[in-house]
Structure 1
């Protein structure tokens, strides 16, 4: 049975226990029902079952538009109707290394994220409605860049 008010799945034993108690349950019982539901919801929100490392769901909105391989990872470019987003993702996450990512819309200023990261640099997003963008990045000393793309 699905309780619409709470959005929880309730089994018949829980309903019988509630009716036997005069319609009320103790705080312990409701907490025991709520904790597993919240744990599952949080797990799905943070990436789903089995999502790890570089295969995790992207933090950029939109569809994948271009992937540029760099020796120790890749630059991933995503595009929505109005925005372009880029990340630099390490091939083997774990060790901290210097990483940077930059995206520049044509006629605009570049937006940069750089530092020492273990998994990814970015996401960096710019408004790119009817504009080309130029993307560049660096992972552990290996650089990569594109010309004007997404025109």
Structure 2
């Protein structure tokens, strides 16, 4: 194969790769994609009227983050996690997409998760028992 054919194939491959990356970044409906600020596996997605609370577990640690249903407008976004027998840890901020993540060590305890976006809010019962 001559060098011109190799260059053409590399150029075509690069064009396909660039197009696929651009489509992945600009894909519609990605507003509700799970946030990447928590480690571990996603164990729950708890939707409510103005957003969703994503819950992750990594060993004995539980992490949660709230994401707006329609990102773009700055609203007060908050999240909280409480391991049974311990005080709740809450974070809140005014943001256009999501809250800061909250991570607690729960071990094998049940946890209660809460989240809010603007006037909509969600509070779970004891979960992950």
| Offset, 1:109 | 1.2
What do residues 118-141 of structure 1 show as CA deviations (whole Å, max 9, x unaligned)? 100121000011111100111111
- 2:65 equivalent to 1:116: no
Structure 1 unmatched ranges of 5 or more: 1-48
Alignment partner of 1:55 out of 33, 41, 56: 33
- 2:124 equivalent to 1:149: no
Q: Distance in 1 between matches of 2:31 and 2:47?
A: 17
Do the aligned residues in 1 keep the contact of 2:50 with 2:121 (CA within 8 Å)? no
| Offset, 1:55 | 2.5
What do residues 76-128 of structure 1 show as CA deviations (whole Å, max 9, x unaligned)? 11111110000100112111011111100111111111121110012100001
Which residues of 2 match residues 66-85 of structure 1 at below 5 A? Answer: 66-85=44-63
Q: Between Structure 1 and Structure 2, whose CA radius of gyration is higher?
A: 1
Corresponding residue SS for 1:148 = coil
Greater relative contact order: 1 or 2 (C-alpha under 8 angstroms, separation 6 or more)? 2
Alignment partner of 1:99 out of 61, 69, 77: 77
CA RMSD of aligned residues (A): 2.0
| Offset, 1:62 | 1.0
Give the TM-score normalised by the residue count of structure 2.
0.73
- Number of residues of Structure 1 aligned to a counterpart in Structure 2: 105
